[in-house]
Structure 1
């Protein structure tokens, strides 16, 4: 038996039961991969939220309309489709870990450069380039961990990875609250972007301690189709790819509409200060964190499709309720923030396992990177629509477009198979 096979056997542990059985089942190598992917996604989230949390100050500094501020988010998400596709192909050709490091360095570099932007046009370009790394990180990190996870616990394992988004979001809110409290807004938004250099430290850890799953790496290297973009559009995978894109478009269209505009909504239509907004977002984020973990558990118990359908319906209901609260009922806004964060996050928990199980190892990175990030790019139209409609409808009224996205996600499920318990091939 080879050294690689021996190590692989040592890393395989019985699935077992209990709250942390999924973590034990990863084995030593898998847990290190989990740490690298979790950290990468948390810092990816942190770098993304530097923009929406600073949006009011940026708009005032450059004299932007709501449409122009919405475009800053849209261009990030659109370019992320390119970044996700490139990163997915790279993950299949050069390996998961190498591709992960490239994506982290990319999004960190251009986030920092955003802080030096002298005008709106330059900021738009830097934010677009940040999307190259932002688009690829999740897909690569999710695949890296999925290939270590057992079929029985894959949903919970990838749900835990998704929870890193809430951790990074919370960190961004805390830093934003402190920075805007002690610095004037014209300086504070730049400092927020400069703190985006933090992910560079993670690359050191990943390079030294994380490696691709041995058996998956062997299958990938043995295939002649690895990293083939055309392969995911061949007859056997075409249906999966098209409906995967529609699913991702619906879920992310709804999510990014809320993530982009809720801080502005609280500021402009609820009259909250930056510190006050941070307090309200604490309920939203805590709900998100618990939602990711709960969704991961349910996607293993109910199945991938039922979990997504359940939380698509609940998320749409929350959006309608959250944006139709009577003026002045700020305490109700606070209370509803928790279920909103819970539902719109729990729906994501099954994505990492579901998309990984839909594609074979040789094109798993390509397929997952393309479907997830193309959906993100198309879904980016939703925040822009909100921006342009906010002038006549108000931000709260325009946010209803988020509910439309969740309806599209349910439609997409009819074209995809259930994959719970499926062994990766």
Structure 2
């Protein structure tokens, strides 16, 4: 941790505020998956309805990421982060008072807007605050907060359900979701807004010299970066959602493995996720963002296909769950630094939000594709092929991308006019 001693107090404050925000998001989000059985029994809703709530939250999260990215370019990173944390906390809290399925669906969707926005605003804030030599390590550590939040959700769920009856326990858990709002107090007092570079009006200019903002990510000079970045996001999320949606079903229904229902399996996956983020954090500052993404994508594709094509039992599956969680964590732990270093500061929030969240939205097609493919082939084969396509897309897109320049991301903005545009002194 010598690098940690080298960063300033302001950098440390930004690091731990983003870590806390993402970790608390992880707690609140994972709690829903844990209380689904209780909601099924208490309200008598179907699994399809429960899945609709989860899906609506994810789609809203992607939209929230897009909006928060553009908002952070307009009002600043810290203020955008404060708004998303308050929004997320408020609607998590209100979810505790839902009286029926329809109310919970709406409230969880609104919660998702803040959930997705928090990642984008926090990632841009951190990238512009941390020294370029340590940016990858900082971003990877913040990504690991999701694993700690996941573990915290399991512990909180166990404690509350041990003391409170199930019909009230889930409400207590959602009500506790208001606690992340306290982070806003810390942000207001201790985290500084990154310096804004005002060269060329801090934006991308067209031939007439007028400044363009959100639409600039599709400007001819930068659209290739935006398209390639979006494809990386699509492949990364597509592979992840393919695994999390269909792998448990495959292992239970076709392999008849029981270890999935044990706490040991969950513990292995969580620990693997955290350690994968740590390694990715260290490695991407050593070998570069692009090579790191490619390495972890290839390892994910190989591990998934080992799962579905090798004849494994409970013990082997438990062992393989570690590399699966480990390698799956390495890609998102890299995306924050990778996407941030692709864009000039004026449109960075918009660019990062688009690349990351476009993939989240469109990646919903991958689980659907597996379902259709499984009508004409074994589910395991469909899963292996689909995951291979998703992670292969990550590799191919990353190969089309030059290695981002690791400089302070408050550097000069990009000017795309044919002649230099004079700036006022």
Secondary structure in 2 matching 1:334: helix
Once the two structures are overlaid, the 10-residue window that deviates more, 226-235 or 30-39, is 226-235
Pair 1:304 & 2:289 matched: yes
Q: Which residue of 2 aligns with 1:330?
A: 314
Separation in 2 of the partners of 1:325 and 1:183?
43
**8 Å CA contact 1:295, 1:348 repeated in 2:** no
Alignment of 1:90-239 (within 5 A): 90-214=71-195, 217-219=196-198, 222-223=201-202, 228-239=213-224
Q: What TM-score do the two structures reach when normalised by structure 2?
A: 0.83
Q: Determine the structure 2 residue equivalent to 1:15.
A: none
Distance 1:361 1:350 in 2: 19
Larger Rg: 2
Q: Does 1:20 align with 2:2?
A: yes
What is the aligned counterpart of 1:80 among 61, 67, 77? Answer: 61
Over 3 Å counting, the alpha-carbon distance change for 1:171 and 1:398 in structure 2 is farther
1:44 is aligned to 25
**TM-superposition CA deviations, 1:371-406 (whole Å, max 9, x none):** 111211222344566789999999978765445422
Secondary structure of the structure 1 residue equivalent to 2:221: helix
Q: Separation in 2 of the partners of 1:158 and 1:188?
A: 34
How far is the alpha carbon of 1:71 from its aligned partner? 2.8
Give the drift of 1:201: 1.8
Tell me how many residue pairs correspond in the alignment.
Answer: 401
Contact residue 83 and residue 136 of structure 1 kept, 8 A: yes
Match of 2:52 among 71, 86, 91: 71
1:33 shift after superposition: 0.9
Q: Distance in 1 between matches of 2:380 and 2:37?
A: 16
Aligned-residue Cα RMSD (Å) equals 3.2
2:197–2:345 contact (8 Å) kept in structure 1: no
Q: Distance in 1 between matches of 2:372 and 2:28?
A: 25
Task: State the 1:420 CA deviation.
Answer: 5.0
Report the Cα offset of residue 342 of structure 1. 0.8
Q: How many Å apart are 1:203 and its aligned residue? A: 1.4
Q: Which runs of 5 or more residues in structure 2 are unaligned?
A: 205-210, 412-425
Structure-2 separation of matches of 1:383 and 1:178:
34
CA contact (8 A) 1:257 1:402 kept: yes
Measured in 2, the distance between the counterparts of 1:243 and 1:321 equals 28
C-alpha contact (below 8 Å) 2:203/2:345 kept by paired residues = no
Measure, in 2, the Cα distance between the counterparts of 1:59 and 1:399: 28
Match of 2:416 in 1: none
Q: 1:337 to 1:310 in 2, by over 3 A?
A: same
TM-score scaled by structure 1?
0.83
Match of 2:346 in 1: 362
Distance 1:316 1:282 in 2: 22
CA contact (8 A) 1:170 1:285 kept: yes
For residues 275-332 of structure 1, the C-alpha deviation after alignment (integer angstroms, 9 at most, x for no partner) is x6433211111111111010111112222111111111211222233456768x3333
Q: Match of 1:152, SS?
A: helix
Distance 2:64 2:357 in 1: 8
